[in-house]
């Protein structure tokens, strides 16, 4: 299995903090956000290489970080060649760029590099191994206003996704999908198919919304929390939580 961390965004909502520092390298609780993700990936024995796909502006930052980390699992940093919000490939575009560059022919774990989580990634992998099919991490929320800002899923028998709606005006469930996916080796080529059909290359949830209508996608309901760090306020809140 290969693991891919998406870090090619520009995090403009966090300016000026992220003008010269990529969001995944901002510190929370005394270490960079991305370190927490890598530490969890290291617990999954099946992962034999980690890819970090960055924009051109910050690729050097991640190369320096990776060289200093001395991680037990090899980390490769990829520069997607884009330098502005206007020219960016989008998350799904970056996934396909990495697949092409590294000729990935394995199961693939994909995680957003600006997401902090407290669930055990190893448990998620064990769930994938038991299901032997594509999976996404899901968390329950009971705050309706918060649900309206997220990707809401409905689950059927055996926790198979039966509907997915991004930022619904009227949420149909209290379950939210997070950007932590594990796709089977034979699903990985479908990402290219999705893009060739002219679908949106930006948010990774768009591929999930396309995929679940074509094949089973299982939801692993996490035991823990997941924090999407998008604003100064959310960064401050997460820092307080992780200090404790």
Q: Tell me the CATH number at 86.
A: 3.90.550.10
pLDDT, average across residues 17-43? 93
Q: Which residue has the tokens 């679940």?
A: 212
Q: Tell me, what's the pLDDT at 243? A: 78
- Number of folded domains in the chain? 1
pLDDT at 228 over 80: no
CA 86/CA 95 separation, integer angstroms: 18
Q: Tell me, what's the pLDDT at 141? A: 85
The mean pLDDT of the chain is: 92
pLDDT band at 149 (very low <50, low <70, confident <90, very high): confident
pLDDT in tens, 43-56: 999 999 999 999 99
Whether cis (ω within 30° of 0) applies to the bond prior to 26 is no
| DSSP conformation class of 125 | H
pLDDT at 244 over 90: no
pLDDT in tens, 90-114: 999 999 999 999 999 999 999 999 8
pLDDT at 15 over 80: yes
Give the range of the structural domain holding residue 218, as residue numbers without chain letter: 2-243
Instruction: Pull the structure tokens for residue 167.
Output: 């930022």
Q: How far apart are the first and last CA of the chain?
A: 33
Rounded to the nearest 10°, the torsion over CA 8, 234, 139, 205 is -30
DSSP H helical ranges for the chain? 33-41, 56-69, 91-102, 121-131, 144-147, 189-196, 205-211, 232-243
Q: Tell me, what's the pLDDT at 146? A: 82
CA 40/CA 117 separation, integer angstroms: 9
pLDDT in tens, 54-95: 999 999 999 999 999 989 999 999 999 998 888 889 999 999
């Amino acid at each position: 299995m290969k693991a891919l961390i998406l870090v090619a965004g520009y995090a403009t909502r966090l300016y000026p903090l992220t003008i010269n520092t990529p969001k995944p390298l901002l510190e929370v609780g005394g270490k960079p956000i991305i370190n927490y993700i890598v530490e969890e990936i290291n617990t999954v024995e099946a992962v034999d290489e980690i890819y970090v796909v960055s924009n051109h502006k910050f690729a050097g930052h991640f190369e320096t970080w990776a060289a200093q980390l001395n991680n037990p699992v090899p980390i490769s940093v990829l520069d997607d060649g884009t330098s502005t919000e206007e020219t960016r490939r989008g998350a799904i575009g970056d996934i396909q760029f990495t697949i092409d560059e590294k000729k990935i022919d394995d199961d693939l774990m994909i995680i957003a590099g600006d997401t902090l989580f407290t669930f055990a990634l190893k448990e998620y992998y064990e769930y994938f191994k038991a299901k032997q099919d594509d999976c996404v991490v899901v968390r329950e929320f009971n705050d309706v206003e918060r649900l309206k800002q997220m990707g809401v899923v409905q689950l059927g028998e055996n926790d198979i996704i039966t509907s997915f709606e991004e930022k619904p005006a009227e949420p149909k469930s209290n379950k939210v999908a997070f950007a932590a996916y594990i796709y089977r080796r034979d699903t990985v080529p479908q990402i290219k198919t999705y893009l060739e059909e002219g679908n949106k290359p930006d948010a990774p949830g768009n591929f999930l919304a396309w995929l679940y209508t074509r094949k089973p996608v299982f939801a692993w309901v996490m035991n823990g929390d997941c924090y999407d760090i998008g604003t100064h306020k959310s960064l401050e809140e997460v820092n307080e939580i992780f200090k404790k």
